[in-house]
Structure 1
Amino acid sequence: MSDTAARADTTPSNRDVFNVAWPLTFKAMMVNAIVLIDAYLVSGLGEPALAAMGLAAAFGSLLVGTIMAFSTATQIRLAQAAGSGRRVALKTGFYAGLATNLAVGATGVVLVALFGGGVLERMAHTPWIAHEAKSYLYIFLMVVMFEAAAQCIGSFFNGSGRTIIPLKSFLIAIPINVATSYLLIHGAFGLPALGVAGAAIGSVLGAATRSLYLGLSFYRETGGYLDEPGWLHGGWGRSLGRHLSFSMPIAGTFVSNAVANYAATLLFAKMSVNQFAAMTLILPWVQAAGTFGIAWAQSTGILVAQLLGNSRGSEELDAFLGRAWRMAFVAAGLVSLTYLVICLASTRIYAGLEAETTAALLSFLPVLLVLPFPKGSNAICGQTLRAGGDTLYVMNIFVAAQWLVRIPLTALFILHLELSVTWVFALFLVEELVKFPLFHMRLYKGEWKRGLAAE
């Protein structure tokens, strides 16, 4: 249990939130870096290779996003358990989360192996792009299974406030990913030049290293809880069922987002190769640069869950959220500034791009300067509501905004109105503005303060 949750006479300060948030920020950036690094290294092979990786990465992101969904639910459950101080709750939450992640990952791998190739062949601009996309995807499936274990173990440490440990796993794994990918993409030092497939192999080696480090860290600290008898609710089966019942709305939210992003990517593929390449390049940057605002919200949710598990009162929760929210707007300003730098430096970062691709990247700037503010505030609301158990409502907001607003408008803009990629990108801001009043009105009602303690 973290020190911030253990103190019964104080609520966490902004410094406490920051101490949890900054490792989450860098960890989230490194999660996105799996694709971002591959995109950067592959970009030197030209737009067709980049388009191939973009199509395949959409599948990989869908699977990893699904696993992260269930891991987020496990993280909340473990944060509540850390707040209550019960080892049996920590043991039950961890193993229920691990079993769920492995089952979800294996199911996704089988489905993609059976049907993914056919989808890529239909969506690719050329047979060569389809071939390269499949070569990347089938190797990347190994990353999915390694991440299934690593994400759950990371949730254990995050839920107890020790976010630095998952960060260390990425600091070890990312250099291995970068070095291996570079060598195998370009065939340096006499190694075979595997192109897009080489990037996937580097990602696999990095993910395997990360999983091993986290597994050893967990066992050294807990002994795998082998000395802790029994499970919550009197048995493993009942405990797993209750864990799934708690997790499904949270997972449904993330799965909906992952599927919506994949559907959007398929629609983006209908644009010109240059416009699709611009989207492929900017979206990982949007995720990577925006992670501090999201991580601040996530760390706020972790500490709220710990406070609820510790049975803290309404006034303490309000005081804590008020401080955290003010800093969330500061974080949004920093993210906005980062987007400005990225857009202005895009011609240097990707010096070999064609003029149409570069112009599209620069056209995203007005939306990027505004987007972090509603997105960050919505994230604070969503994480707080989830920590309090109001998970179904959060899921409904996300599903409605994605499937009734962003995806239909994306299809309309691309397939029928044939608008430029600039207008298509602006729909990410529209989605956040739709969610804004729905989230904030629910939070102000305060029903989440009677949320679930760890059971």
Structure 2
Amino acid sequence: MNALLSKIFCAQRVLKNTPPQGEIPDDETLLRRTFRVAWPSTLESFLVALVGMVDTIMVSRLGAYAIAAVGLTTQPKFICLAVFMSLNIAVSALVARRKGEGDREGANRVLAQSMVLTVMFAIVITAIAILFAEPILRLTGSNAETHESAAAYFRIISAGMIFNVMSMVINAAQRGAGNTKIAMRTNLVSNGVNIVFNYLLIEGHFGFPRLGVAGAAVATVIGTMVALAMSVLSVAHPEGFLYLQFQKKRFRLERSTLATIANIGSSSLAEQLFLRFGFLTYAMIVARLGTTAFAAHQVGMNVITISFAFGDGLSVASVALVGQSLGEKRGDLARIYLSFCQRVGLFCSLTLAVVYSVVSRDVFRLFSSEEEILVYGEMIMRMVALIVIMQVAQVISSGCLRGAGDTKYVAIVSLVSVACIRPLAGYVFTYPLGMGLFGAWIGLVLDQFMRLILTSIRVRSGKWLNIRI
């Protein structure tokens, strides 16, 4: 076994004939550090995705309309979060680079400024989301059966956005510093709270009111409040690399720090907007197929999220390890850590592909017993088994590019693949070619394939090794 691992995870093979830029730790040490950073973020992403699936299962007891109603809010919710997600990408990359440079003050300055920006954006976006909830959801494809529940869910989630986004920015900084266990604990506890209150509020147990779909939204907000409390505590220890002294001068906006954040964050924002435009357009295309087809699609997207979790966790690790290595002026180590993350990801994706091929219909039975949904499920799971291999690989490569500050290229990839190829191919295969939901999923496959090709080309070019942030 050790001999096999030494062949798969070999730093010399990664570097080939390229001379090292300094002392290279032995392969076991490099692999151990990769796992030490990667496993908490991977476990966190997986369990968060699993909780999302459990959330959908609990809501599904109300009927297919409830699955569809919650599903309709997914893309509007992520559009609202686009600014914060792009900001968090910048925070993780910058904190990782500053840690590699040994600049603790610079890292804490980035976090403090980002928290101020987060509060400002949250106030504006929350107000817009609550005021325009109904037209937004009509645009995404709600109908008489789903509209009222979807609007209530979206308004409640939006009202609690401030707790979520403040926790997100602190956790992003902790991940950049390599403290992935902190973010993992925060999310595990908050999602556990979410599940408990789902049970109490969706159907009304132990004297709690029966709120239905709205109860799931309230439970989510309560979970994010707990997450924020834990996140704030994580930066309240003077001995930590990230330590926020809550003094007024620390939170004054500074032009130099804001310019650095904006340099990366603007490209990340463009990426997020392209992603959300593509995902929203794609969801609207599927919503036109009807409540049952959209409910089946939503279950499939939950499964996709589970597999994405493995790639996302390893992507977080690559952001931290690549960013810190480049901060130390060690491009050779950055390439090695990326390669190790990719190889772990390949193992995970192949394992998931086999599992998905075996369980197919059984997974969908967790959500519904309707025969039409189960038939859709068999088709979707076959597609997911193919998608997961491409998805995990491209997500890890994208994380490496973000960690290096190459966010403009990732934004271009999102524009080409997600904003154009996915919705256009999905529409053509679904309606003009008459392939229905199967056609929509062909569009998703083509999107993942194109992203894999484009990110792989960029990673192999090595241009990301020379970006200054």
Q: Does 1:318 align with 2:335?
A: yes
1:402 & 1:171 partners in 2: Cα distance? 30
Deviation at 1:398, TM superposition (A): 1.3
Query: 1:413 is aligned with what amino acid?
Result: F
Equivalent residue runs for 1:2-401 within 5 Å: 9-10=23-24, 13-33=30-50, 35-121=52-138, 126-220=143-237, 221=240, 222-225=242-245, 236-312=254-330, 314-340=331-357, 343-350=360-367, 352-401=368-417
Deviations, residues 374-416 of structure 1 (Å, cap 9, x unaligned):
2232223322222222221121011111222111122233344
Equivalent pairs: percent with the same residue? 21
Deviations 1:55-112 (A, max 9, x none): 1233223323542232122111111111111122111211222233333333322222
Per-residue CA shift, 1:325-354, capped at 9, x if unaligned?
Answer: 33331122133234335524225413x431
Moved more, 431-440 or 74-83: 431-440
Seen in structure 2, the aligned counterparts of structure 1 residues 95 and 33 have a Cα distance that, compared at 3 Å, is farther
8 Å CA contact 1:381, 1:443 repeated in 2: yes
Cross-structure match for 1:3 = none
Q: State how far apart, in whole Å, the 2-side matches of 1:235 and 1:267 are.
A: 42
142 and 27 in structure 1: CA distance in 2 versus 1, 3 angstrom threshold: farther
Equivalent position SS for 2:132 = helix
Measure, in 1, the Cα distance between the counterparts of 2:105 and 2:142.
53
Q: Does the CA-based 8 Å contact 1:26-1:167 persist in structure 2? A: yes
Unaligned runs of 5+ in 2: 1-21
The whole-number CA distance in structure 1 between the counterparts of 2:113 and 2:206 is: 45
Instruction: Give 1:4's aligned residue.
Output: none
Q: Distance in 2 between matches of 1:322 and 1:118?
A: 46
Q: Distance in 2 between matches of 1:405 and 1:108?
A: 29
Would you say the 8 A contact 1:20–1:299 is kept in 2?
yes
2:9: which partner in 1? none
Indicate if the aligned counterparts of 1:387 and 1:451 stay in contact, CA closer than 8 A.
no
> Judging changes above 3 Å, is the alpha-carbon distance between structure 1 residues 415 and 83 closer, same or farther for their aligned structure 2 residues?
same
Q: Tell me, in whole angstroms, the C-alpha distance in 2 between the residues paired with 1:230 and 1:214.
A: 18
When structure 1 is superposed on structure 2, of 293-302 and 202-211 the one drifting more is 293-302
> Residue type matched to 1:356 in 2?
E
Q: For 1:240-282, what per-residue CA distance to the aligned partner results, in whole angstroms no more than 9, with x for missing partners?
A: 1321122111232123212321222222110122110001111
Please tell me whether residue 432 in structure 1 is matched to residue 452 in structure 2.
no
For the 8 Å contact 1:32–1:288, the answer to whether it is kept is yes
Moved more, 417-426 or 78-87: 417-426
TM-score (norm 2): 0.87
Instruction: Provide the rounded CA distance (Å) in 1 between the counterparts of 2:390 and 2:273.
Output: 22
Shift of 1:138: 0.7
Q: Give unpaired runs (5+ residues) of structure 1.
A: 1-7
After superposition, give the CA deviation of every residue in 1:109-158 in whole Å (9 maximum; x if it has no partner): 22222322123245555434211111111111134211111011101211
In 2, Cα distance between equivalents of 1:340 and 1:65? 33
Q: Does 1:413 align with 2:429?
A: yes
Partner AA of 2:417 in structure 1: A
2:198 aligned counterpart, secondary structure? helix
Q: What is the rounded CA distance, in whole Å, between the counterparts of 2:452 and 2:149 in structure 1?
A: 40
| Structure 1 residues 380 and 181: CA distance shift in structure 2, 3 A | closer
**Structure 1-normalised TM-score?**
0.89
- Comparing 359-368 with 93-102, greater Cα deviation is found at 93-102
User: Matched residue pairs, number?
Assistant: 442
Q: Which moved more, 1:187-196 or 1:332-341?
A: 332-341
**Structure 1 residue 450 corresponds to structure 2 residue 451:** no
Distance 1:400 1:128, change over 3 A: same
CA gap 1:126/1:320 in 2 versus in 1, 3 angstroms: closer
CA-CA distance at 1:195 after TM superposition: 0.7
